[in-house]
Amino acid sequence: MFKGKSIAVKPLEAGLVELCFDREGLAINKLDLATMQELGQAVAAAAATPGLRGVLVTSAKEAFIVGADITEFLDMFALSEAEMNRIFVRSNSAINALEDLPVPTVCAISGLALGGGLEVALGGDLRVMANTAQVGFPEVKLGLFPGFGGTVRSPRVASVQVAIDWIAGGAPSKAAAAQAAGIVDEVVAPEAVRARAIELLQEAVAGKIDWKARRAAKLAPVKIGAEQAKAFATAKEKLAKGARHQPAALAAVELMEGSVLKARDEALSLETAAFAKICHTQAASSLVQIFLNDQLLKKKAKEHARNARPVRKAAVLGAGIMGGGIAYTSAVRGTPVLMKDIQEAQLALGVSEAKKLLGKQVASGKLAQDKADKVLASIQPQLTYDGIDQVDIVVEAVVESQKVKHLVLSEVEKLARPDAVIASNTSSLRIDGLSTPLVRPENFVGMHFFNPVPLMPLVEVIRGAKSSDVAVSTVVGYATSMGKTPIVVKDGPGFLVNRILTPYMLAFIQLVEEGADFVKIDQVMEQFGWPMGPAYLNDVIGMDTGTHVFSIIADGFPQRIQRKSRDALHLMVEGKRLGQKTRLGFYKYETDPAGKPKKSVAEDTHQLLKAVQPNGTRDFSAQEITDRLMLAMIAEAAWCLEEGVVATPAELDMSLLMGLGLPQYLGGALKYADWLGLEHVVKLSDRYGKLAPYYVVPKSLREQAAKGQRYY
Ligand code: NAD
């Protein structure tokens, strides 16, 4: 009857017709623009069937429809609102046509139906769902809300409260919850979905189900009483705070508050107009980019996995903060690990830390006790190198001293298998400097974890000049097996993330020295979206650690990242104000009577800083503070890309998001540069470049700006 690239329409018995999503050449069904167009043709073909009595909507794949085609989004976002409107109206008309068929329709949701997939399903009169399937509206995670009628149909099919919770929350729901919410009508075993959907369709055809009344309710305004009004008010209040940088959830609630009062077609017009607006927000552009970047990282990790040697057993040298965390993460993800230290007490600490973390997982029900016991038993604490010749990879995490590391690395190289990969978790030493005493430097790679290891997703995999491809791939594979996101970077001072952080921190120090209040700087940057401002971040990193790392990195780039011999951070270290760990840094850290940690401005910090403020204090606008700090970061990111420290803007930006907690709505330093416009970045660089060389952007950025190009 109809056969397209994504949809087929075929007759069943007794006037019933099946409209089946079955995307050619793909394992899944997704709603790209072509499929939406095809849906209109498919519905028309079904409607034209002589003697038509009912339509069954199915999928020939495991999932029903996984959602819209996200790879099309950024091109779409580049269109004007009017152009987008035209596309959305066309897509909506296809679902409307399904909804308006003169016969009953039943959707058989055999597997995942997310986003647009659920919106199509809501176009039918009834929905049967497999008990293994999930449905939901994850759009807010991409800075969006449903734009194919989801905001219109979900409050009508289920309730205002369900529509708010599902759309603003973005979490997928399992079958029982979906049925309880009223989004689906019946839940059955996966193998029974189709048969039950046909039965329901026959019942509807026979008039045993009043599908006309159900449909009428979907087309009419929603009855709004006190309960619904309260649901809107509560949600708006709750969502207002996050809306500054990620407005989609609040915008959806505000949209629905108005659109539920209208009949379907008018409500859809409101949705279309609001959706076009949300597509043009910074958050939507960034979050979609992050999704695409994440896909790229996964693809790269897979390529490495093909080239990697298997890691069945690992060893960690050093059972300190990092070594303990690495051993635990390796073990919990299934790779047994030897944990070697020179101090018994440190081994005991490493084991007790692992025990504590496993205990938490058991208490929260995530891990069974016997599994936890097995994980713990797979961490083997020891003072000797016994068994080191059995491991596929050794991760060195001893103290940060080139001398000690040289000794430890050459010692372990002699005892390990010749094909074993040796990785160092150094945070500031060059990989090529560490490899000098090694006989097989090709097996040596950097593996830079972030603290705390079990929580931080990023691992910088540092390729030294002599590191072999297979050694790099093996480290990438091991990091992936630990549930981490590895990003390969070139060896150099500070590698990638700490290097980019350094000018940002120096720009902060410089602002303070010009007289800016560190408290205001923190407030401004936190409002801008950072989880913590730079002064607070220094306290968390630890003033001694930070100042040491920033100096090493600054020394590595003497032309551009100079640091004064005595700045605000040096003052802090001299005063033994090391930050959180000494309970005093820029801020002071106390415990309130209830035992909760409390941070407040230390009375004497401003006084102390006067020693580095030759011109006293003055006020700086929020704009200047963000411009200067973020420009320093963008410029360094651009230099890193130009120098090939990292291969792509995507990997660079993802590293910053994961390693530094850069606000998601920015999408990364380079994505933010795109958003500002590279010409604007050049203007800022011209303005502030006179103050310090780290504000100066590289030639490549200027050239791109001149040509009107972007990073993405
Ligand atoms: P730590 O001081 O907590 O632990 C170092 C451990 O190494 C100690 O237990 C010590 O006894 C042990 N050790 C010393 N000599 C040894 C030897 N010869 N053989 C085996 N063990 C030995 O230090 P940490 O914070 O865990 O840092 C370890 C490494 O990780 C350093 O290179 C550091 O730069 C790097 N790093 C640290 C962080 C961080 O935030 N702490 C982040 C990333 C990377």
Alpha-carbon torsion angle 505, 506, 508, 512, nearest 10: 140
Mean pLDDT of 129-140: 98
More confident position, 242 or 413: 413
Cα torsion 647, 652, 654, 658: sign: positive
Domains and CATH numbers, the chain: 2-280 (3.90.226.10), 311-490 (3.40.50.720), 497-706 (1.10.1040.50)
Q: Place 565 in a pLDDT band, splitting at 50, 70 and 90.
A: confident
Cβ atoms of 281 and 143 closer than 8 Å: yes
Catalytic residue among 280, 448, 606, 680: 448
pLDDT in tens, 475-506: 999 999 999 999 999 999 999 999 999 999 99
24 burial level (CB within 10 Å; 0-12, 13-18, 19+):
exposed
pLDDT(330) > 90: yes
Mean pLDDT of 297-316: 96
pLDDT in tens, 164-219: 999 999 999 999 999 999 999 999 999 999 999 999 999 999 999 999 999 999 99
Q: Where are the beta strands (DSSP E) in 493-651?
A: 587-591, 597-601
Q: Is the CB of 272 under 6 A from ligand 1?
A: no
Mutate to test the pocket of ligand 1, among 341, 426, 537, 549 (most ligand atoms within 8 A of CB): 341
Question: Which phi and psi (to 5°) does residue 21 adopt?
Answer: -80, 120
pLDDT(13) > 90: no
**Residues ≥6 apart with Cβ < 8 Å to 145:** 137, 139, 151, 167, 248, 249, 251, 252, 255, 274, 275, 278
pLDDT in tens, 594-648: 988 899 999 899 999 999 999 999 999 999 999 999 999 999 999 999 999 999 9
Q: Is the CB of 398 under 6 A from ligand 1?
A: yes
Distance, in Å, from the CA atom of 65 to the CA atom of 49, rounded to the nearest integer, reads: 25
Mutate to test the pocket of ligand 1, among 326, 351, 399 (most ligand atoms within 8 A of CB): 399
**Percent of the chain at pLDDT exceeding 70:** 100
Token readout for 467 is 């590191």
Quote the pLDDT of residue 654. 98
Distance, in Å, from the CA atom of 690 to the CA atom of 686, rounded to the nearest integer, reads: 7
Mean pLDDT of 67-87: 94
Nearest to 639 by CA among 499, 466, 527: 499
Cβ atoms of 486 and 476 closer than 8 Å: yes
13 burial level (CB within 10 Å; 0-12, 13-18, 19+):
exposed
Distance, in Å, from the CA atom of 330 to the CA atom of 407, rounded to the nearest integer, reads: 25
Q: Is the CB of 549 under 6 A from ligand 1?
A: no
Distance, in Å, from the CA atom of 506 to the CA atom of 553, rounded to the nearest integer, reads: 11
Residue nearest to atom 15 of ligand 1 (CA): 398
Ligand 1 centroid from CA 604, angstroms: 33
Atom of ligand 1 nearest to the CA of 398: 7
Q: Specify the pairing of strand 54-59 against strand 16-21.
A: parallel
Token readout for 533 is 């401002």
Ligand 1 centroid from CA 426, angstroms: 9
Residue 395, strand partner residues: 316, 423
pLDDT in tens, 400-447: 999 999 999 999 999 999 999 999 999 999 999 999 999 999 999 999
pLDDT(324) > 90: yes
Q: Is the CB of 424 under 6 A from ligand 1?
A: no
pLDDT in tens, 685-700: 999 999 999 999 999 9
Cβ atoms of 549 and 556 closer than 8 Å: no
Residue nearest to atom 9 of ligand 1 (CA): 320
Atom of ligand 1 nearest to the CA of 400: 32
Q: Is the CB of 319 under 6 A from ligand 1?
A: yes
Q: Is the CB of 325 under 6 A from ligand 1?
A: no
Q: Which residue has 């007490």 as its token pair?
A: 345
Question: Which phi and psi (to 5°) does residue 106 adopt?
Answer: -130, 135
Quote the pLDDT of residue 596. 87
For the question of residue 448 being annotated catalytic, the response is: yes
Atom of ligand 1 nearest to the CA of 350: 9
Quote the pLDDT of residue 615. 96
Q: Is the CB of 498 under 6 A from ligand 1?
A: no
Atom of ligand 1 nearest to the CA of 428: 34
Q: Place 547 in a pLDDT band, splitting at 50, 70 and 90.
A: very high
Cβ atoms of 369 and 362 closer than 8 Å: yes
Residue 591, strand partner residues: 597
Atom of ligand 1 nearest to the CA of 317: 20
Residue nearest to atom 31 of ligand 1 (CA): 400
Residue nearest to atom 8 of ligand 1 (CA): 320
Read off the pTM. 0.95
Query: Helical H runs in 143-247?
Result: 150-157, 160-169, 175-181, 193-205, 211-219, 226-240
Helix (H, G, I), strand (E, B), or coil: what is residue 409?
A: helix
In order of 255, 603, 680, the CA distances from 677 in angstroms are 30, 41, 5
